[in-house]
A and B are shown apart, each in its own frame.
Chain A
Amino acid sequence: MKEQNLKILVADDNPSDRMLLESMLTQLGHVVETAVDGQDAVEKFDPNSIQLVCLDVKMPRKDGWEAALEILQIAKEKLIPIVFLSGVSDPDILKKCLDVGATDFISKPYNPTLVSAKLNAIARLLVLQNTLSEQRDELSFLNQQMVHDQEVAKMVYERITHSNCLSDPALNTLHQGSHIFNGDVILAAYKPNGGMHILLGDFTGHGLSAAIGALPLADIFFDWTEKGFLMRQILPEINKRLHNILPPNMFCAAAFIDINLHNRTASVWNAGLPDLLYFSAGEPQPRLIASDSLPLGILNEYEFEANIDMLSYEFGDYLIAFTDGVYEARSEDNKIHYNSALNPLYAGEVSGSPFVWLENMLQEEGILENPHDDISVLGIDLTQALNNAPQSKPADVTRGVSEPASFAFCYELNAKSLRNTDPLPYLLQILTTVPELSKRSGEIFMILSEMYSNALEHGILKLDSSLKETAEGFAEYYASRETKLKQLNEGCVSIEVKVSADSHEGCLAIVMSDSGDGFDISHLNFDNLDHEMPFNRGLSLINQLCHKLEITDNGSRISIEYRW
């Protein structure tokens, strides 16, 4: 180690001892300042220049021990080694020196070899301490910078992942991260035809690396929902994007819930999250919706399939989903196991809101204070969802020019197109170029989707909507819709659209016809809309929204006029 020159304060009331030490130290290359007693030493001590203090034990006015204590106080967190000078070798006195914070002693009479060796040792200590404190400052600076960067990134991240409708009264959420960044994500967005898409996701790991995958996820979720794509179209797209961009060991366990207000159904998909709990007003125990797929981002686009559960909901029903941070608990011996405090929830012994109960439980168990994982809970109060009128957010009104528009087109889909595409988002995009229609995109989407599902489900696939009267039949209906659509070989749906508008008013006319045999239309009564019936609501809705509705050719041709 390189020789270090120190600035040393020497305090000794004995002038000859003081001068002797001073000259020895000066010869070793150090700079020495002297003090005649303890008080003088305290006054001359400057923590910014003095690096080492040598104190005689017995001095007038202030002894070495008192001086040492005061000097250490002035030095604060700065390390200033103190060396006592003493002619005695009484162990009690030497112990007291160490007790007040001394680094070492030098005994009198001075031995030049020993003094030099001790000073070298102290110099090494100081170099080490300086390096350490420099590194500490550098680390704390870097840490501050990183925290700052993360805070900024977090703000951007939250704006992207929270620009949604989480404040809807039907939703209760609890979202607590174990790091600045939360690897859990809760997204909710209104669909253009009313109702809502909700996604609860849990990315592998914690912190920033877990959160980063949420950006593309949120991007697709919001964009595709706004454009009118359906859950079964959005999920494969999210999976594909995550599969392509995430490293192979990262994935996202997720639940996707699609709430349809007008036929009171919820489609639920669980991939890798703990069971979702569905509390039905009439049932003592919750129905469990177990994970049914591999998490998002693992399978490639050809292997991925979304098995979706359909539920028909009633007033008073409640759906709850959570990530495994809730499901797991850490016991006192630091082992992680299933959190048995959840038992009453599964057993249906919880009265009142399951969400409130769960939140209280997590609070009482101390899990919220000291989470070992990100924790998210999503509660959906389907009673509230029932009460909420379909809210259609006016789409981006500024994007069209406010010129009147008149155009017409015809869109024909053969069996292959019916199997593989959903024409509605594309139709909606064309129609919303008309500013007045863009403002009414919710209604327009609803009319289109009801007409289209009528043509596809009843006309082409010949599904019987009376199946939907019971809960089992309901699931069966949608299951057979999937199967029949996959096997579809012939059939055709044609959609004719005509828009005519001037600056005051306009009319959208749609004729949707299908190649099916039609159905018995004699019993249809649109004016008496029965809200308790989960089926046959589509046509009634169209009737309410449009100014004219005509059903001809045994129901295989439906024309509407929508005016503004």
Chain B
Amino acid sequence: MIIGQFDEKSATATMVLKGRFDYSCQQEFREFFARYPKGTDYIIDLSSVSYIDSSALGMLLLLRDHAGGDTSNVVIKGASEFVISALKMAHFERLFVLS
């Protein structure tokens, strides 16, 4: 499940994900971030995510592209130890801000 909100002032979209972040979220996740214009800053809140798989990592890459690729500003926050280890294994700290 994804809950989102958009802060006009800072032009930042916050997306809160719940449960498993895997292939089954593909459609919803893509539709969700595509609502916001290209180049938007994103905060992805994973504090309620229990599991993340490689297709979720792929979705994050898609979002990063949408957010401007190398000039994007995507913060991933609240990730559990397990989720952090999955992100770090793929060295995603080079592409995203993990906080």
Q: Are A248 and B95 in contact (CB under 8 A)?
A: no
Contact with A along B33-64 (1 / 0, CB 8 A): 00000000000000000110111011101100
Q: Are A248 and B61 in contact (CB under 8 A)?
A: yes
Distance in angstroms between the alpha carbons of A35 and B89 in the assembled complex: 76
| Chain A residue with the shortest CB-CB distance to B93 | A294
B51's contact among A274, A291, A293, A336, by CB below 8 Å, is which? A336
Distance in angstroms between the alpha carbons of A292 and B88 in the assembled complex: 9
Q: Are A293 and B91 in contact (CB under 8 A)?
A: yes
Q: Are B89 and A272 in contact (CB under 8 A)?
A: yes
User: In the assembled complex, which residues on chain A have CB atoms less than 8 Å from the CB atom of B20?
Assistant: 336
User: In the assembled complex, which residues on chain B have CB atoms less than 8 Å from the CB atom of A336?
Assistant: 20, 50-51, 82
Q: Are B89 and A205 in contact (CB under 8 A)?
A: no
Q: Are B57 and A291 in contact (CB under 8 A)?
A: no
A299: shortest Cβ distance to chain B, in Å?
Answer: 9
B90 within 8 A of A: yes
Q: Are B50 and A335 in contact (CB under 8 A)?
A: yes
Q: Are A205 and B54 in contact (CB under 8 A)?
A: yes
Q: How many residues does chain B have at the interface if contact means C-beta atoms less than 8 Å apart?
A: 23
Q: Are B55 and A204 in contact (CB under 8 A)?
A: yes
Q: A272-B90, A273-B89, A338-B82 are in contact. Are A250 and B51 (CB under 8 A)?
A: no
A249's contact among B59, B91, B95, by CB below 8 Å, is which? B59
Q: How many residues does chain A have at the interface if contact means C-beta atoms less than 8 Å apart?
A: 25
User: In the assembled complex, which residues on chain A have CB atoms less than 8 Å from the CB atom of B91?
Assistant: 271-272, 291-295
Distance in angstroms between the alpha carbons of A249 and B62 in the assembled complex: 6
Q: Are B61 and A298 in contact (CB under 8 A)?
A: yes
Q: Are A204 and B89 in contact (CB under 8 A)?
A: no
* Chain B 79-94 interface residues, beta-carbon cutoff 8 Å to A: 82, 85-86, 88-92, 94
Q: Are A274 and B89 in contact (CB under 8 A)?
A: yes
Distance in angstroms between the alpha carbons of A272 and B54 in the assembled complex: 10
Distance in angstroms between the alpha carbons of A205 and B95 in the assembled complex: 20
Distance in angstroms between the alpha carbons of A335 and B94 in the assembled complex: 28
B65: shortest Cβ distance to chain A, in Å?
Answer: 5
| Chain A residue with the shortest CB-CB distance to B85 | A338
Q: A248-B61, A248-B65, A249-B61 are in contact. Are A291 and B54 (CB under 8 A)?
A: no
User: In the assembled complex, which residues on chain A have CB atoms less than 8 Å from the CB atom of B89?
Assistant: 253, 272-274, 291, 324
Q: Are B90 and A294 in contact (CB under 8 A)?
A: yes
A373 within 8 A of B: yes
Distance in angstroms between the alpha carbons of A404 and B94 in the assembled complex: 56
B63: shortest Cβ distance to chain A, in Å?
Answer: 9
Q: Are A294 and B51 in contact (CB under 8 A)?
A: no
User: In the assembled complex, which residues on chain A have CB atoms less than 8 Å from the CB atom of B88?
Assistant: 291
| Chain A residue with the shortest CB-CB distance to B65 | A248
Q: Are A251 and B58 in contact (CB under 8 A)?
A: yes
Provide a sorted-by-A list of 24 A–B residue pairs whose CB atoms are within 8 angstroms: A202-B54, A204-B55, A204-B58, A205-B23, A248-B58, A248-B61, A248-B62, A249-B55, A249-B58, A249-B59, A249-B61, A250-B58, A272-B89, A273-B89, A291-B89, A291-B90, A291-B91, A292-B91, A294-B91, A298-B61, A298-B95, A336-B51, A336-B82, A338-B85
